[in-house]
Amino acid sequence: MNPPPVSHAPSWQRLQVLARQAPSLRALFAADPHRFDACTVEAAGVLLDGSKQRIDAHIRDALIELARARDVEARRDALLAGAIVNNTEQRAALHTALRLPAGSRLMTGTQDAAADALTVRHRVAAFAEQVREGRWRGHNGQPIRHVINLGIGGSDLGPAMVQQALSPWSAPQVRFHFVSNVDGRHLADTLRTIDADGGAACTLVIVASKTFTTQETMANARSARDWLLRSGVPRDQLGRHVVAVSTNVSAARAFGVDEANVFPFWDWVGGRYSVWSAIGLPVVIAIGAQAFEAFLGGAHAMDRHFADAPIERNLPIMMALSGIWNTNFLGCGALSIAPYHQRLARLPAYLQQLEMESTGKRVSRDGQLLDHDTCPVLFGEPGTNGQHAYFQLLHQGTRVVPVDFIAAIDDDSGLPGHNDALLANCFAQSQALAFGKTLDEAQAETDASRAWLAPHRSFPGDRPSSTLLLDALTPATLGALLALYEHKVFVQSVIWDVNAFDQWGVELGKVLAGGILPLLAPDAPPAPSMLDASTAGLVARVRARRSRCR
């Protein structure tokens, strides 16, 4: 039975009333000098400082009541037990099974998902160790020096982000390249780099695609295979240079990959939740099986916390609730992700897919049009770079954009002074956003002859943020951080009543591209008259340009 619309819940209506007089952050901090202690939650090496959210005890209680009214705990238990939570595709969403410790059991129908995951994990680890140790050799006996991951979306963003984030653990003898775009420049530029540094003979291509039908990845896979052959790899030796990760083992085999070199996963792993599966193969090659186990272990520790902690101390649930407050009651339509850690530069892109593909929905699980907002627009850049680009709007723009600040205390750059400057900036930004500078304060520090400048120099404040602080960015804390966001997204999907595990919204564009593609061919017939005028005009312009250049 589907729940009644969330907007009918008494706690939702109470929150609407509370939002009319949302407390200011200045007042909240003035009222409670221990607010930091009261509003921090810590789990699996991740500390959440939620004190700079505009939430007082009444709002917090109403949010918790809302979570209870939406059965968040029961829905969480169902998710973790392997229930069919993806109702439109009739699938479980068991990414948590991928990080269960050896010896665990988790049945999906007649299959033990935990045992299946462990078997593949061992295969991935054994293969990765061969590559890392130079025992896996190319056709002419050279060890692998370049790994190219061909994938897009969840088959790219997770491994690319994690490999970069954990680069200090990475095998120095191997270089990693992540090619996602169907734009041939992406692959061509990568192959040019490799050609100048050992070439195809020392290159391993991983074709990573859950479906093994994705247009971009298959186009790149075909072009990479042609390059290998052109570069002298004998056809019967392609298996030394091409492996695959997919749920569609037969399609990978049909493409020409030896079955022994296809690393499978299952339909109960969503693309954007797949970095923990064999999709993590490039990461395992990079950091080794032991560090990858630590990455899974960190995620599992967060899973345990999510499963066991009471709502008020439950990090993912509390983070989800502050997001709901900001989105649905304070009217914030965006969320900025600001990692103050250069190696997390790709985290905003990863979280864009995780959040926007999961909860960027407008109908409920049973197909009713929703009467409330869902996922905010996510964007971000590493700090401090973002400060010198879009933070102006965050501080003084007309829209309020909450921010997730993410930082690690320990430094491993070896360059004195940098890390303190980084942390000082991170903390200062959330301080400035929260407390601002009143017009009076701006006037007081402005020379009387320049009083007209005071409005430009004042900051409204009351711009909410959370800070996620790690002691250090390690495989374990990164795993915990990503699992935290996964669970936050799930909790929000429960409250908003959307299916977090499908993505029908990407389909229409794919189908339409299939119709436009043949119209761009040199000998294509004239564009059909039913094509809209804009698309027809753009197609005609391309064809005119090409016929002039022929």
Q: Kindly tell me which residue out of 11, 53, 96, 155 binds ligand F6P, with binding defined by CB under 6 A.
A: 155
CB atoms near residue 488 (< 10 Å) = 24
Q: Kindly tell me which residue out of 52, 76, 132, 210 binds ligand F6P, with binding defined by CB under 6 A.
A: 210
Cβ atoms of 326 and 464 closer than 8 Å:
yes
How many Å apart are CA 276 and CA 120, to the nearest integer? 11
Stretch that binds ligand F6P, among 115-123, 207-215, 223-231, 422-430 (CB under 6 A): 207-215
Q: Kindly tell me which residue out of 11, 53, 214, 492 binds ligand F6P, with binding defined by CB under 6 A.
A: 214
Q: Kindly tell me which residue out of 163, 203, 217, 429 binds ligand F6P, with binding defined by CB under 6 A.
A: 217
Residue with the two structure tokens 């590493």: 382
Structure tokens at 545: 């340009």
Q: Min. distance of Cβ 157 from ligand F6P in angstroms?
A: 8
Q: Min. distance of Cβ 216 from ligand F6P in angstroms?
A: 8
Residue with the two structure tokens 């966001």: 485
Measured over the CA atoms of residue 47, residue 53, residue 57 and residue 60, the dihedral's sign is: negative
Q: Min. distance of Cβ 237 from ligand F6P in angstroms?
A: 26
The residue (of 224 and 422) whose beta carbon lies closer to ligand F6P is 224
User: What string marks each residue from 347 to 386 as x (binds ligand F6P by CB under 6 A) or -?
Assistant: ----------x-----------------------------
Q: Min. distance of Cβ 271 from ligand F6P in angstroms?
A: 3
Q: Kindly tell me which residue out of 444, 451, 506, 520 binds ligand F6P, with binding defined by CB under 6 A.
A: 506
Q: Give the residue numbers marked as catalytic.
A: 357, 388, 510
Task: Give the pairing of strands 40-43 and 377-379.
Answer: unpaired
The residue (of 68 and 253) whose beta carbon lies closer to ligand F6P is 253
Q: Min. distance of Cβ 212 from ligand F6P in angstroms?
A: 7
Q: Min. distance of Cβ 278 from ligand F6P in angstroms?
A: 12
Stretch that binds ligand F6P, among 208-216, 297-305, 323-331, 390-398 (CB under 6 A): 208-216
Q: How far is CA 448 from the centre of its chain?
A: 49
* Cα 279–Cα 281–Cα 283 angle in degrees, nearest 5: 105
Instruction: In the chain, count H helices and then E strands.
Output: 20, 13
Q: Kindly tell me which residue out of 95, 240, 272, 487 binds ligand F6P, with binding defined by CB under 6 A.
A: 272
Q: Min. distance of Cβ 272 from ligand F6P in angstroms?
A: 6
Q: Kindly tell me which residue out of 94, 152, 332, 489 binds ligand F6P, with binding defined by CB under 6 A.
A: 152
The residue (of 159 and 479) whose beta carbon lies closer to ligand F6P is 159
Stretch that binds ligand F6P, among 45-53, 209-217, 405-413, 517-525 (CB under 6 A): 209-217
- Is residue 280 at the binding interface for ligand F6P, with CB under 6 A as the rule? no
The residue (of 158 and 199) whose beta carbon lies closer to ligand F6P is 158
The residue (of 180 and 430) whose beta carbon lies closer to ligand F6P is 180
How many Å apart are CA 465 and CA 50, to the nearest integer? 7
- Is residue 249 at the binding interface for ligand F6P, with CB under 6 A as the rule? no
Number of residues lying near ligand F6P (CB under 6 A): 14
Q: How crowded is the C-beta side of 73, counted as CA atoms within 13 Å?
A: 12
The residue (of 145 and 272) whose beta carbon lies closer to ligand F6P is 272
Closest CA to 320 of 463, 64, 469, 491: 491
- Is residue 154 at the binding interface for ligand F6P, with CB under 6 A as the rule? yes
User: What string marks each residue from 101 to 140 as x (binds ligand F6P by CB under 6 A) or -?
Assistant: ----------------------------------------
Taking CB atoms within 8 Å and a gap of at least 24, the contacts of 67-71 are 67/311, 67/317, 67/320, 67/321, 67/491, 67/495, 68/311, 69/9, 69/10, 69/11, 70/3, 70/6, 70/9, 70/494, 70/495, 70/497, 71/3, 71/494
The residue (of 152 and 243) whose beta carbon lies closer to ligand F6P is 152
How many Å apart are CA 207 and CA 396, to the nearest integer? 45
Closest CA to 376 of 404, 340, 395: 404
Closest CA to 267 of 479, 498, 109: 109
Phi first, then psi: give them for residue 40, nearest 5 degrees: -100, 145
- Is residue 211 at the binding interface for ligand F6P, with CB under 6 A as the rule? yes
The residue (of 209 and 474) whose beta carbon lies closer to ligand F6P is 209
Cβ atoms of 149 and 159 closer than 8 Å:
yes
- Is residue 35 at the binding interface for ligand F6P, with CB under 6 A as the rule? no
The residue (of 155 and 499) whose beta carbon lies closer to ligand F6P is 155
Tell me the CA distances in angstroms from 6 to 67, 77, 183, 208, 367, one per residue in order. 10, 20, 43, 38, 14
Stretch that binds ligand F6P, among 10-18, 106-114, 193-201, 205-213 (CB under 6 A): 205-213
Cis peptide before 398 (omega within 30 of 0): no
How many Å apart are CA 406 and CA 269, to the nearest integer? 27
The residue (of 315 and 483) whose beta carbon lies closer to ligand F6P is 483
- The runs of H, that is alpha helices, within 181-336 are 184-195, 215-230, 249-255, 281-308, 315-324
Q: Kindly tell me which residue out of 209, 429, 474, 492 binds ligand F6P, with binding defined by CB under 6 A.
A: 209
Q: Kindly tell me which residue out of 128, 320, 503, 519 binds ligand F6P, with binding defined by CB under 6 A.
A: 503
Residues engaged in binding ligand F6P (CB under 6 A): 152-155, 209-211, 214, 217, 271-272, 357, 503, 506
